[in-house]
A and B are shown apart, each in its own frame.
Chain A
Amino acid sequence: MNVESSTNQTQQSAMMAMLASFWFEFRQNKGALYGLIFISILAFIAIFADFISPYDPIEQYRDVLKLPPIWAEGGSWAHILGTDALGRDMLSRMIYGSRYSFYIGSIVIFFCLTIGIVLGLLAAFNRGFIENTIMRLMDIILAFPSLLMALALVAVLGPSLENAMIAIAVVFIPHFVRLTRAQALAELGKDYVASSRSMGASTFRLMFINVLPNCMAPIIVQATMSFSSAILDAAALGFLGMGAQPPSPEWGTMLADARQYILSDPWMMGVPGLAILFTVLSINLIGDGLRDALDPKMKTAKG
């Protein structure tokens, strides 16, 4: 019994030590730390939007159209960030909009990871025809400018947020396939894989139990970076009217709605624009920090 508990303790302490060293490395990157704080606050806002938001995001207050934010002349405490052209409360729309960002990022990354990893592993394990087919297909997707490709896909599928996410995922998948394949090929050459093979391990076992865990570090970094790109691309599609449709308070769509007032009421574009900027920046900073902590090979030299 003593033995059992002591091994459990050593195991726990080993886990703690690994986490501690990860956190130590991550913390070295101040930018990543600030990014993490910003994203944590944003996540909190997104989760508790129902309680935080002062108004309903799509209710129109006809008596206060285009009200400026509190710091500008004519601002009012009733609508801290002002109202848009239809009298909807900007703050509430921003708060609900953060939900869309996380929704888009998570779903896109989920598809990218599952499909990208499976295709990448398939390519790495089946050199020859299957590999060539998969990789050339990916090359073709990569040959198109990504936003143009996404636009074309949405045009075919029909403009909606869900279709925009599918289009963005399709555009991003090749990066994951390439990365997974390259990582898996490097691991396949190692003797631990040969050992498993010589024991008669099935391909499935080799792929997911032996090889994949050793490929994860750079894939996680790529996923983080793509998370922000997905938000950005979704905003771009929204701005072009191909993403989330009005009246949903998605940040890119809000930009599109405010476009015609850019000269008269610039805050209407400024607020969602800045929100997108800081969110994407924070996630990229986190990605950099993760890279330093998880994947020392890709670390950039510090000058």
Chain B
Amino acid sequence: MSETMKNVNAKDPILSIKDLSVSLPARADRPFAVENMSFEVYPGEILCIVGESGSGKSMSSNAVMGLLPKPHVNIASGEILFEGQDLAQISDRQMQSIRGSKIGMIFQEPMTALNPVMKVNKQLEEVFNSHHLKLSKKQVKAKIIEMLDDVGLPDPSIIGNSYPFELSGGQRQRVMIAMALALEPKLLIADEPTTALDVTTQAQILKLIAQLQDKHDMGVIFITHDFGVVAEIADRVIVMQLGKIVEQGPAEQVLNRPEHPYTKKLISTVPSLTAKKKEPVTADVVVSVKNLFKTYGSGKKSFFGAPGRVVHAAKDVSLEIRKGETLGLVGESGSGKSTVGRCIIRLHESDSGVIDFHGQDLLSLTDKEMMPLRQHIQMIFQDPYASLNPRRKIGDIITEGPTIHGVPKAESWKKAEELLEIVGLDKYALKRYPHEFSGGQRQRIGIARALAMSPKLLIADEAVSALDVSVQAQVLQLLDEIKTKMDLAMLFVTHDLRVAAQVCDNIAVMRLGEIVEYGPTYEVFTNPQHEYTKSLLEAVPGKEWVVPELVFD
């Protein structure tokens, strides 16, 4: 890496940004989205811009592309020099000819970034047509096949003839990359291009971007919130906080010897991939699931004769959780991990199997018999924005459960106050509405709501996946404290192996509804048995980077 660094600096920068400030509308929480930002991008390097949500990292790239949401957000001052032209000054028309042909861009959501009613071929054709390249139809066709081949898509002619919905997320992202690179731009801006993808797909896409960057000698600006990804592909790193660059330098230096306190804080909250050896939990079993089956869809033919589709969300799933134990249920999207959690709490009805909770089979109970048991099993949800009713006050939300189970109002409100204190919120929050809180605060409220029922089993369904890494660390710590204090059993559903390594006592790895590997976390991480587990661990971005032990001054 150090060798390429030298080469890089010998050349002139492709893009150089000087003192760029982007102003926000008057009612925003700060005057500038990006303030006095200066940096360069050299050919043949990957520059990562990393920061938490709201740090202005996407705004800076949108400013380069001329994609700011005008008229509310404007470039207030500064220069964006690209090939001797100041992009901050040129007209929209001039910008259009640069966009796509000289600067390419990839977005986070491959589904929304592609036109859903247009075949892939057509969309790629548009790229050529909109830049008036005077290529014949034949040439364009050949070019498209070459491009699709370039991004590693099998059977380019078949893929080209498909609609976006017929492709998987990874394939879509490859098409996006092909589109962005169609006209061989000198600069590629990738805005969180792998955030919506599964970890194995993410690894492939990251590799692809690095390969193509090398092949075409492009400069790449890669925007991400994930330090693992940074460690995987970055040559240089820029760390942003509240619209300002707080640190920039070579990747190796920023990741291992960060200087700015904010960078230090961010890096110290990245969960390490190495699991600690823990004492096995030997307390009583709280819940044991035996041979759980659950399918979606039906085998029946539909009214018009189309064959039904069956998805096995849970296939012969067996697991048990003891008091004080955290069992991690990991897997990629569609592996059925959330379904298992929801079957245990009976939000979904299972097809067959036994869920033994303190000697009672939950699946054989009627809704009425289940009712008194509901308070013992509680759930924390992924999306802190959808999991709180926007029209009810926090107090009503937290006390809803106890109220249903007949606890007098005064008593449950008093308890809600205590719970808010436990999760680190002010008791005045009780009288406010969810929209007044941040994502992390809402997740704390969700935890308080679950605890209001004094549960014995807590199911955390991707409970920290939607949160920024520093907030994530706080919420994980809170969960851990609560678990120890209340001696809870916890089912921790997640796709993030780093988090699982830190939190869980035992791990169950799921694929296509089946548990393929099940054992103590330390064993699973150091000595994976199943091929799939190995490939998952292999795909974790930045796996070779050991998160440094940092000293705060």
Contact = CB atoms under 8 A, between A and B. Distances in A.
Given A7-B431, A200-B374, A200-B405, A194 B400 contact: no
A195 interface: yes
B388 A199 contact: no
Given A7-B431, A194-B347, A199 B375 contact: yes
Given A14-B433, A197-B347, A190 B386 contact: yes
B245 interface: no
A44 B367 CA distance: 53
A7 B449 CA distance: 21
Interface in A199-238: 199-202, 205, 209-210, 213-214
Interface string B372-406: 00110111011100111111100001001100110
Contacts of A200: 370-371, 374-375, 401, 404-405
A213 B433 CA distance: 14
A214 B404 contact: no
Interface string B284-307: 000000000000000000000000
A113 B180 CA distance: 51
Contacts of A195: 379, 381, 387, 446, 449
B447 to A, nearest CB: 12
A200 B392 CA distance: 18
A23 to B, nearest CB: 17
Nearest to A195: B387
A198 B374 contact: yes
A198 B383 CA distance: 16
For chain B, give the interface size range.
Answer: 20 to 34
Nearest to A8: B431
B389 A214 contact: yes
Contacts of B552: none
B345 interface: yes
A191 interface: yes
A195 B392 CA distance: 14
A200 B370 CA distance: 8
Nearest to A189: B386
Nearest to A214: B391
A12 B541 CA distance: 49
B404 A192 contact: no
Contacts of B388: 192
A198 B391 contact: no
Given A199-B401, A199-B404, A200-B405, A192 B378 contact: no
Given A10-B428, A14-B433, A191-B386, A198 B379 contact: yes
Nearest to B450: A195
A200 B389 CA distance: 16
Interface in B74-106: none
Nearest to A196: B400
A132 interface: no
Nearest to A199: B401
A208 to B, nearest CB: 12
Interface of B: 342, 345-347, 370-371, 374-375, 377-379, 381-383, 386-392, 397, 400-401, 404-405, 428, 431-433, 436, 446, 449, 453
Given A194-B381, A201-B400, 10 more contacts: A10-B428, A10-B431, A14-B433, A190-B386, A190-B387, A191-B382, A191-B383, A195-B446, A200-B375, A200-B405
Interface of A: 6-7, 10-11, 14, 190-192, 194-202, 205, 209-210, 213-214
Q: Nearest 7 CB-CB pairs, A to B?
A: A199-B401, A191-B387, A200-B374, A213-B391, A191-B381, A192-B389, A190-B386
26 contacts: A6-B428, A10-B428, A11-B431, A14-B436, A192-B388, A192-B389, A192-B397, A194-B342, A194-B347, A194-B379, A194-B381, A194-B387, A195-B379, A195-B381, A195-B387, A195-B446, A196-B389, A196-B400, A198-B345, A198-B346, A198-B377, A200-B401, A201-B400, A210-B392, A213-B391, A214-B390
